[in-house]
Structure 1
């Protein structure tokens, strides 16, 4: 039927979304508790260590947010852009690009600028995503709303499947005015508000491209402005990218009236809140690793270590508990340090004698493995 209503924005009650606060309570309690834990640990760590974590989380957020949309960024370029933004200086080792500079500018603005969100500001963010006016090989409208119909489709076995069709271009100005009124005026609980904003923005889909990344920046903006805790110390996109399939599945399920006849978005809010909680838990793990590394080097300082040993230990520590599968062996030491087998064995034996690494229980001979002693 030509006039059949298929998408959530076609419902007469849109955009008055429904959600059950009682169902949300457990997820909201869990994320609030973990946020408090992270805030307490950051206070204990002090400014310098906290800032190091913030840089790493910011890099993760930029790289993984682009990865969700199929764009692979050079991590070192993003790091250079962040350090340049923080210090205002360009070093000889700078590998930043105009693109990564723009992505950093958008993240910083969304995380630190609490002024009202406006169309002008969103257009500025969009411009940072596409500074040359192209998305891949295609010329797109930059810093202004799309002028054509938009649909999300996939192809499998030669068949086309439509996952979503967005509101028509003629309705975008009105849609965005209503959306921004919600962002700037709503007193809704922060995590719930962030989830609604994320869903609503990608449902409107106002731009030719970049809507997902801007939606996640809006999430950062809301949480940073309204909670003021841990802003920039965890990466929401890092959690989402690990379960990207469910991200798209729950979006499609919530946007279709076939599955959602009452503008019911409780399931989406729970999922979104749990992703934030997962992001905070990842950050807590990173903090724990950072503390372990600091404590390890405090212990190691009393020993005289050669450059090779320091390099290998740093590799082990940076890899974390799962990074060196099976632990360190002579072959891996050789690969990292670029030395002879005899020298590698002497270095390893010396590290064992100093109680900096230990042999993995049950390994011996050619299969012997070592792990760091924290």
Structure 2
């Protein structure tokens, strides 16, 4: 940031209607509705697994918000320092490194998102800005800390080399900041939603998401501080969203999304600050970023749900500590995230066991259905077996389909519905599903699709297997003996006379 002289004045605060910012509720309706839909999905998933304020998802979201809001300003913070500071702020034990600057930013974001019913006034904003610069400097330059800017030079946002500067924005003069901020803070108080989510007072039609968007562009247009305006402006957004959603647990990081869309963020904000006081396009863009942030957070929770389901399986109940350590590493890496897959050598490095023990452990995890084995000999690799995870490996070859009226060629669906219809058409009236209990099934494959196998059990009975639960893709028409244990099926093909399969 630099301060330069300019005669241009295309700025929003020069407009006759400033500071009365408006938006078209009709034009923004679809964008806002999509944000609310995704936010509802996110809340539902969080409730399903009982996420708390100190859950790993919440800790990660808070840490992401801290690192991202600093990174938008070009400042890279240590992940270890940030995580340690977040844990201490949430009252958790933390032995990591400390940094006054990081602690100050964590304090600001935490205050904005937890003390949402306390008034936002000049004193609170100035304390936030002081926390960002505990030494009274920005880099090595001394700045005004704990008060609005008061220098005579115009406040400008510029980029480029000396002599080739590009002016992106010019803020109101310092002498006008107290009056400008008084208008903003009064509006923020008047438009605060009531505890039931409705606006508390004057503007009964102002949407809560739109209010957060307007608050951000309004505050950034005033640019009241000598430094730290971006971080404080995003904290105000966090506070506005907290007042609107009344969400006890932070589930997403909007700053992380804004960092991802950093160029678009600057462009959208700049366009709004150069336009008139109708900021509909900015509200729509902002809503889109909130939606994207919810989608990312929803994917994170999906991973948390998958991990919980994995550990809740009976086959994972009696694992030893080294098994759990290795599996947790693979789960944390995600689908395809453990580069190159797991082999015996990596297992030894992770656990410190002998090669013989590593080989035995890996075999046991495969037998339990917790790891998938790929390849042979020195090329063998192991992957955590989570339904839907491909680890970037080629999918299993499509099953052979014989030219027989009794067999189902994939009907275009991947659900079990097509399989059930096919078995019913073949005269089966008692159809069950495998995987829900330990059991053995005997009989011929009567129908097969891209995702399911129908096995006849005789006397009008049949069973549907999910291909993902089987140790092998059955051959069409084969007589099978399938042993299920803890939700996994071991397929053994037997000859037609080895057992009375059609009893």
**Residue 179 of structure 2 is aligned with which of 165, 174, 179?**
174
Report the counterpart of residue 371 of structure 2 in structure 1. Answer: 357
Report the counterpart of residue 155 of structure 2 in structure 1. Answer: 150
Q: Which moved more, 1:346-355 or 1:228-237?
A: 346-355
**Residue 222 of structure 2 is aligned with which of 188, 200, 204?**
204
**Residue 30 of structure 1 is aligned with which of 26, 30, 34?**
34
After TM superposition, list the pairs within 5 Å mapping 1:340-351 onto structure 2. 346-351=360-365
C-alpha displacement at 1:37, in angstroms?
Answer: 2.2
Report the counterpart of residue 128 of structure 1 in structure 2. Answer: 131
Partner SS state of residue 165, structure 2: strand
C-alpha displacement at 1:204, in angstroms?
Answer: 0.9
Change (3 A) 1:241 1:348: farther
8 Å CA contact retained: 1:224, 1:231? no
Change (3 A) 1:293 1:162: same
Report the counterpart of residue 13 of structure 1 in structure 2. Answer: 17
RMSD: 2.6
**Residues in 2 aligned to 1:241 and 1:139: alpha-carbon distance in whole angstroms:** 27
Report the TM-score when normalising by structure 2: 0.66
After TM superposition, list the pairs within 5 Å mapping 1:1-374 onto structure 2. 4-46=8-50, 48=52, 51-87=55-91, 91=94, 93-113=95-115, 114-148=117-151, 149-155=154-160, 159-186=164-191, 187=203, 188-229=206-247, 231-256=249-274, 260=275, 262-299=276-313, 301-305=316-320, 307=322, 309-325=323-339, 327-329=341-343, 333=347, 336-337=350-351, 346-359=360-373, 368-374=380-386
**Residues in 2 aligned to 1:366 and 1:237: alpha-carbon distance in whole angstroms:** 45
The number of aligned residues is: 364
Partner SS state of residue 295, structure 1: helix
Structure having the larger proportion of residues in strand: 2
8 Å CA contact retained: 1:69, 1:212? yes
Structure 2: runs of 5+ lacking an equivalent: 1-5, 192-202, 387-503
C-alpha displacement at 1:341, in angstroms?
Answer: 6.8
Report the TM-score when normalising by structure 1: 0.88
Question: Structure 1, residues 215-243: CA drift from partner, whole Å, max 9, x if none?
Answer: 11111111111321355221111111111
Structure 1: runs of 5+ lacking an equivalent: none
**Residues in 2 aligned to 1:212 and 1:141: alpha-carbon distance in whole angstroms:** 16
Structure having the larger proportion of residues in helix: 1
